[in-house]
Amino acid sequence: MSEADIGVRLTDPSRLPTISSETQLRAVLASLAGVDAVGAEARVAKLATRSIKTSSKRRALDLIVSMIDLTTLEGADTPGRVSAMCAKARRPDPRDLSVPSVAAVCVYPDLVEGAKRHLEGSSVAVAAVATAFPSGRASLAVKLLDVSEAVAAGADEIDMVIDRGAFLSGRLGQVFDEIVAVKAACGSAHLKVILETGELVTYDNVRRASWLAMLAGADFIKTSTGKVPVAATPPVALVMLEAVRDFAESTGRVVGVKVAGGIRSAKDAIRYLVIVNETAGATWLRPETFRFGASSLLNDVLMQRLKQTRGAYVRPEEFSGD
Amino acid sequence: MSERLDVRKTYKLVINGAFVRSESGRSYEVRHAAGDFWANVAQGSRKDLRDAVRAARAAQAAWWKATAYNRGQVLFRLAEMAEARRDELAAHVAAAEGVDAPSAASSVARGIDRIVWYAGWTDKVAQVLGGANPVAGPFFNFSLPVPSGVIGVLAPQDSSFEGFVDTVLAPLATGNAVVAVTSERRPTPALLLAEMSVTSDLPAGVLNVVSGLTGELGPTLASHEDVDGIDLEGAGEHHDELAASAADSIKRVRRASAGDYAESSTSRLRSFVETSTVWHTIGR
């Protein structure tokens, strides 16, 4: 990717620091400035008031569809449910061929094989949550087995969770080593690292965890599992987007951001797009670098889209449930 | 001692059990029938209606699932609260409609009596509109009135309280959720009743009341595909266009009547119900 593509000032990629010891990692993370929490919250509140005109909104809605990781992570998931979701991922609105496919479907590892079969020949990727999702409480050996089974079943993307307990108690080296090991186990599959920002408590921790994950080789950093009460919030997205922007400027590596959990309306999703545009820049506004992890969001976007076409508010039953 | 400052009030919309200003931030002036300033009222937008319909849809199933007896009690409670604020309502009706105090008071009294009347109907509608049908076989066959769902109401423009009560309470009594647009020039009595509904045990979202320009809100409500029926009592000059646009989504439409709200009639109760037919085997 060229400098012009990225839109940020890239330095030599060789400047990506190789972390060889926990001491060095601590030094890098300690060099990060603290987050101005009040400023971050005021900034996203301000951005949320921005008005989006009708034609831009139409484009934004299509972009949102193409950025969605259509997700089902329930204990009650069945192969049938996953196959229905895959059909929807390919062709979100069967009556309107101008609606793009979603970016990926996101499922538990045991359902990857079926999802892969249903999505054959489409552009939709299959993402699997691995590493003892959602708590991450298992030994490294178990986590790596989880990952390699998902990869062997054909997963294109792996969503791993970090060990929040280790991070919060200061064992940063352990968190880093786990990500490096999982990245190695992924092979060619993309690695998304879930920080579970709702459990990290402070924005400073979010910034540090973002850098830690990126230094360890994450292709994406992701906010949440969706399994704890506090999921993605706009200020957290802002902090993570600042981190990927700064990381790209100082190391030359572009890392994506995925916001997940609690994003249900097209309006909220558009607000995230505004934050992406104003923080990291327009070049992050692509499915390769920004994703929404969601399930009910898709129907709301389709409803808004159909409303624009028809000129009347439409009923939710127009679209299949999940 | 200094003079007291006025405690001024801006009348809010009621959407999902909350008093909200319009999402658009707009408000408009409402005047006395004589022409002087009377109140500032929130001017609802299309998006407010959208939110109201969403709230009504979410609330309707639970409202219908409550027993008919319980629905009657809740509506009676609304009458209790209105009774306690009769004088205030009468002052608003007098100002809005330009009638003298005694006729405003009797109009409010008739309106409150009408609430009680509809409260009484909740557990009697099924007997009157339903029935047991004779069939040639060993079965019972019942016809039961069930609510249409979410009903849009364009409340009468002239009768600010009685008319509002009549158009709104009838669909509520049969188990529907309602999104009502008040009289454009005379909204305050309806908004007062909406305030009372929030504290009268009516579940949030069952009655949503939006004030604003009927010409702007009417088309949105009539064309909204998630609204199952619309009462065009206050539609005015655009009545026929609205009825036509309601047809696109196959809504039940109640066309504007002559508007005698004093006469007791089950006509409005019949407007927004569907007939569900149930077969049941005859046991031994």
pLDDT score recorded for residue A138 = 92
Phi, psi of A3 (to 5 degrees): -60, -40
pLDDT score recorded for residue A9 = 52
The residue segments making up the domain with residue B222 are 10-281
Residue B163 domain-assigned? yes
Confidence of residue A147 (pLDDT cuts 50, 70, 90): very high
Q: Does A51 touch chain B (CB under 8 A)?
A: no
Two tokens, residue A102: 């979603």
Q: What is the C-alpha to C-alpha distance for residues A296 and B263, in angstroms, rounded to an integer?
A: 48
Shortest Cα distance from B201 to chain A (angstroms)? 28
Query: Annotated catalytic, A5?
Result: no
Two tokens, residue A176: 């880093």
A297 burial (CB, 10 Å; 0-12 / 13-18 / 19+) is buried
Q: Does A312 touch chain B (CB under 8 A)?
A: yes
The whole-angstrom distance between residue B250's C-alpha and the CA centroid of its chain comes to 21
Q: What is the C-alpha to C-alpha distance for residues A107 and A51, in angstroms, rounded to an integer?
A: 35
Q: Chain A: residue nearest B225 by CA?
A: A314
Give the three-class secondary structure for B207.
strand
- How many residues can be counted in chain A? 322
Two tokens, residue A260: 């997940």
**Mean pLDDT calculated for residue range A115-119:** 95
A49 CB neighbours in chain B (<8 A) are: none
A318 CB neighbours in chain B (<8 A) are: 225
Q: Which of A146, A159, A246, A300 is catalytic?
A: A159
pLDDT score recorded for residue B259 = 63
ipTM score: 0.77
Confidence of residue B34 (pLDDT cuts 50, 70, 90): confident
Residue B2 domain-assigned? no
One-letter-per-residue 3-state SS of B86-150: HHHHHHHHHHHHCCCHHHHHHHHHHHHHHHHHHHHHCCCHHHHHCEECCCCCCEEEEEEEEECCE
CATH number at residue B216: 3.40.605.10
Distances (CA, A) of B137 to B132, B134, B200, B278: 14, 9, 47, 14
B144 burial (CB, 10 Å; 0-12 / 13-18 / 19+) is middle
A118: left (phi over 0), alpha (psi -120 to 50) or beta: alpha
Q: Where are the domains of chain A?
A: 34-310
Residue B4 domain-assigned? no
The strand pair at A68-71 and A290-294 is best described as parallel
pLDDT higher than 60, residue A7: no
The pLDDT > 70 percentage for chain A reads 95
pLDDT higher than 70, residue A5: no
Q: Nearest 10 degrees: CA dihedral of B132, B134, B140, B142?
A: -30
| H or E element in which residue A30 lies | helix A22-30
Tell which CATH architecture fits domain A34-310: Alpha-Beta Barrel (3.20)
Tally of structural domains, chain B: 1
**Mean pLDDT calculated for residue range A86-97:** 93
Number of H helices and E strands in chain B, helices first, is: 10, 13
Query: Annotated catalytic, A116?
Result: no
Q: What is the C-alpha to C-alpha distance for residues A226 and A292, in angstroms, rounded to an integer?
A: 12
**Taking Cα atoms as reference points, which of B243, B54, B55 lies closest to residue A314?**
B54
pLDDT score recorded for residue A2 = 47
Whether the Cβ atoms of residue B136 and residue B282 lie closer than 8 Å to each other: no
pLDDT higher than 80, residue B36: yes
pLDDT tens-place string over residues B171-217: 999 999 999 999 999 999 999 999 999 988 999 999 999 999 999 99
The label of the residue with tokens 């934050």 reads A275
Query: Annotated catalytic, A258?
Result: yes
Give the count of alpha carbons within 13 A of B228, CB side only.
19
pLDDT score recorded for residue A3 = 46
Q: Which of A93, A163, A222, A268 is catalytic?
A: A222
Shortest Cα distance from B45 to chain A (angstroms)? 13
Two tokens, residue B32: 């006395």
Whether the Cβ atoms of residue A66 and residue A90 lie closer than 8 Å to each other: no
**Mean pLDDT calculated for residue range A126-135:** 93
Shortest Cα distance from A315 to chain B (angstroms)? 5
Nearest CB neighbour to A314, from listed B57, B220, B225: B225
pLDDT tens-place string over residues A184-225: 999 999 999 999 999 999 999 999 999 999 999 999 999 999
The pLDDT > 90 percentage for chain B reads 87
Shortest Cα distance from B22 to chain A (angstroms)? 15
CB pairs < 8 Å spanning A and B = 23
Exposure string over A270-281, b if 16+ CB within 10 A, otherwise e? bbbbbbbbbbbb
* Cβ–Cβ gap A315/B225 under 8 Å: yes
Q: Does B148 touch chain A (CB under 8 A)?
A: no
**Mean pLDDT calculated for residue range B86-107:** 95
